[in-house]
Amino acid sequence: MKLSNNLHVTDKMNGKMKGFASLSSNSNSFCEKMSKVQGSVCQKCYANRMKKLYESLNKVLDKNDQILNSKDLTQWNLTNYAYFRLQAFGDCSSQKVVNNYFNFVEANPQTTFALWTKRPDMINKVIAKRGKPANLILVRSSIMINKPANLPKNFDKVFTVYDKETSKKVNINCGAKSCLNCRLCYTHNDTVYVNEVLK
């Protein structure tokens, strides 16, 4: 599916994301750097696995990244989704990408958006300039396996992945079966720390 500004929305997600749509840009130098950090979840990168399985995905994500980084996008389609994932592959490459995501979110107040990121400082620079949309849930992705990150200012949740052994000592509240049925990360609730077992 394409938006009016030629961005490609992935609306045929598989696995736990089935039933969701997402808008993503391609991995960047930050992702490459993090993938070399020993013990990081980035060494087990889901996005890289998907891009190897689906060669056309790289082209789509590259094009999205170019468009999102090109200018301030003001023309956005209305979505008919109750919940929408931003940056399902990799992480945001720039403040301009984040700013355009915020434009998209604000153009669709009827939809709840969730954005996962390991770059809270960059997100907060955008928020400092324009505020945080009420229909956006910000999820801080922990970089290290088995080590939850702190909850940053303006963020709603922290998502951490645990190996099988360590997961026995932690409250695993992400079953990784169906995000659409669970919606723990896509609703404002009392759960801050969301924990998943490494796949």
Q: What is the pLDDT of residue 50?
A: 63
Asked whether residue 6 is domain-assigned, the answer is: no
Q: Quote the CA–CA distance of 30 and 103 in Å, as a whole number.
A: 23
pLDDT 10s digit of each residue in the chain, 199 long? 778 789 999 887 778 888 889 999 887 788 778 888 899 888 877 666 666 656 677 788 889 999 999 999 988 988 889 999 999 888 999 999 999 999 999 999 999 999 999 999 999 999 999 999 999 999 999 999 999 999 999 999 999 999 999 999 999 999 768 999 999 999 999 999 999 999 8
- Is 183 a member of any domain? yes
User: 140 by DSSP, 3-state: which?
Assistant: strand
Examine residue 46 and state whether it is found in any structural domain, yes or no. yes
| 124 domain-assigned | yes
Number of domains in the chain: 1
Would the pTM count as exceeding 0.85? yes
Residue 167 is assigned to a structural domain of this protein: yes
In a domain, 135, yes or no: yes
**Residue 67 maps to a domain:** yes
- Going by C-alpha positions, the residue among 120, 59, 64, 75 that lies closest to residue 95 is 120
> In which domain, by residue range, is 127 found?
15-197
Residue 103 inside a domain? The answer is: yes
pLDDT tens digits along 41-67: 888 776 666 666 566 777 888 899 999
Pairing of strands 83-86, 22-23: parallel
> Angle, nearest 10°, between helix axes 95-107 and 55-70?
90
Count of CB atoms situated within 10 Å of the CB of 192? 12
What does the pLDDT look like over 104-114, one tens digit per residue?
999 999 999 99
Question: Residue ranges of the alpha helices (H) in 108-193?
Answer: 120-130, 164-167, 179-182
